[in-house]
């Protein structure tokens, strides 16, 4: 008897709350990003870094490809395209990031001898977004990795965040991918 009363009370609560007006909080769908494509253009060459996690659930084993080696002492212009390839046709996520530009920022972290990044785009408050950037490669040859991290609902006023330091950014990570790179 107690089980039946409990089930009835639970059902009644669900029915009444589902009939509530539109001011009730709504479930917000999580962004699905299956693919990141980074294009680096400089020194007469174009290098692409692509990572795909086609089921979109990460962390899994995404397929990552780097199309070539970077040249030492070269300035590359960079652009990032994010996609949801679980949709047909694939949904480009960049317009959504630009629409909510104050809530998003890319961070670039390196290991080894890679180089330095500079943001070339900004949100409506003149804080970096990071869909476009420059990369000045190191003057000497070497190897390392570049990690691209997109944070959502971060604190863009945190110490160093506008300079690309992720430590004080907070927020949640929408995507994080590392690529091995070689500087020749």
User: What does the pLDDT look like over 88-112, one tens digit per residue?
Assistant: 999 999 999 999 999 999 999 999 9
Q: Write out pLDDT tens, residues 124-168.
A: 999 999 999 999 999 999 999 999 999 999 999 999 999 999 999
Q: Write out pLDDT tens, residues 10-61.
A: 333 333 333 444 444 443 456 789 999 999 999 999 999 999 988 666 556 6
Segment 117-127 shows an average pLDDT of 97
Residue 1, pLDDT above cutoff 50: no
Torsion sign over Cα 153, 155, 166, 182: positive
Two tokens at 131? Answer: 């869909």
pLDDT of amino acid 31: 73
- pTM, 2 dp: 0.82
Reported in sequence order, the residue ranges of 53-171 that DSSP labels E, i.e. its strands, are: 63-66, 75-84, 91-92, 104-112, 115-119, 132-137, 142-152
């Amino acid at each position: 008897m107690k089980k039946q009363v409990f089930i009835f009370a639970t059902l009644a609560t669900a029915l009444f709350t589902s009939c509530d007006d539109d001011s009730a909080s709504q479930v917000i769908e999580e962004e699905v990003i299956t693919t990141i494509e980074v294009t680096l253009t400089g020194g007469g060459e174009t290098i692409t870094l692509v990572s795909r996690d086609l089921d979109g659930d990460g962390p899994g084993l995404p397929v990552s490809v780097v199309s070539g080696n970077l040249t030492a002492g070269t300035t590359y212009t960079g652009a990032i395209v994010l996609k949801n390839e679980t949709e047909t046709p694939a949904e480009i996520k960049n317009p959504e990031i630009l629409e909510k530009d104050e809530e998003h920022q890319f961070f670039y972290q390196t290991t080894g001898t890679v180089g330095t990044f500079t943001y070339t785009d900004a949100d409506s408050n003149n804080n970096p977004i990071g869909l476009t950037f420059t990369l000045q490669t190191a003057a000497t040859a070497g190897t390392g990795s570049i990690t691209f991290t997109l944070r959502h609902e971060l604190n863009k006023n945190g110490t160093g965040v506008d300079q690309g330091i992720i430590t004080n950014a907070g927020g949640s990570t929408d995507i994080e991918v590392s690529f091995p790179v070689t500087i020749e």
